[in-house]
Amino acid sequence: MDVKIGIVGCAGRMGQMLGREVMAAEGARLIGGTECAGHKHLGQDLGRLLGTEPHGHPVTEDAKALFARADVVLDFTVPAASVAHAKLAARAGKALVIGTTGLSGADEAAIRAAARRAPIVYAGNMGTGINLLLALVEQVAKALGPDYDIEIVEMHHRHKIDAPSGTALMLGRAAARGRGIEHDANIESGRHGHTGARKKGAIGYAALRGGEVIGEHSVIFAGADEHLEIRHRAFNRRLFASGAVRAALWVADRKPGLYTMFDVLGLSGAGR
């Protein structure tokens, strides 16, 4: 039987892309979508919203009802909404895929708590390539050791509201795991003015914003005699949507727990 998938935030740019990807995916069936109260697309047929034939399901604001009907719900919204949706998933015992970025430590703790009662895939980036890069960065950081400074440079469109990006932070945490150090205690971000010398062993971040850049990330390992740079560039947001649908199909029949794209992609041992 097809996996029944619902989308919260279905009328946004990413929500619509998710909807079209679900409709195109083999083994998946789009069964509804929600938006926030007062949204201009409430009541519109979901198929019409996505530019296809009428679907028979209007866009509603009832996320609780969506969780009751779906096997898996996709969430690329905002942190507060994602936490609320994780709690709904826990109450309904339904699977949830979260691609929202900018979550705080408290937000992530709430999602971990919800995952004790529902299977949840949570990743700051659902793309296959970037998750392979995460595994590679961890290995390189371990192999090169502390004599190489690590700098992470990311660029996104002018509309992005969080920095560093969720993907950049994932890359930094992967590097920290490789080094065997605590990430949050060893970061340098937003340098300005007389900063003093770079702290040995730090993981540096630089965030660039402009234009309509979907996402570019570089991890630089800077040694005294050589620099190694690993780079990923996203050209279409569809890669995030296809990864999210892949995660939804994977997590639909899993036991409660908090999973990552490493689990979805079968990257055994990575990110642990």
What are the catalytic residues? Answer: 156, 160
159 contact partners, CB below 8 Å, separation of at least 6 = none
Q: How many CB atoms lie within 10 A of CB 58?
A: 15
Query: Is 15 in a helix, a strand, or coil?
Result: helix
CA atoms within 13 A on the CB side of 110: 17
DSSP string of 19-54? HHHHHHSTTEEEEEEE--TT-TTTTSBHHHHTTSS-
**Assigned token pair, 22:** 């679900």
What gap in Å lies between CA 25 and CA 107, rounded to an integer? 30
**Nearest to residue 112, comparing CAs of 142, 149, 82, 133?**
82
Query: Is 143 in a helix, a strand, or coil?
Result: helix
Distances (CA, A) of 222 to 95, 160, 176, 226: 41, 28, 15, 6
Query: Is 6 in a helix, a strand, or coil?
Result: strand
**Nearest to residue 32, comparing CAs of 48, 13, 10?**
10
DSSP string of 146-213? TTSEEEEEEEE-TT--SSS-HHHHHHHHHHHHHHTS-SGGGEEES--SS--SPPTT-EEEEEEE-TT-
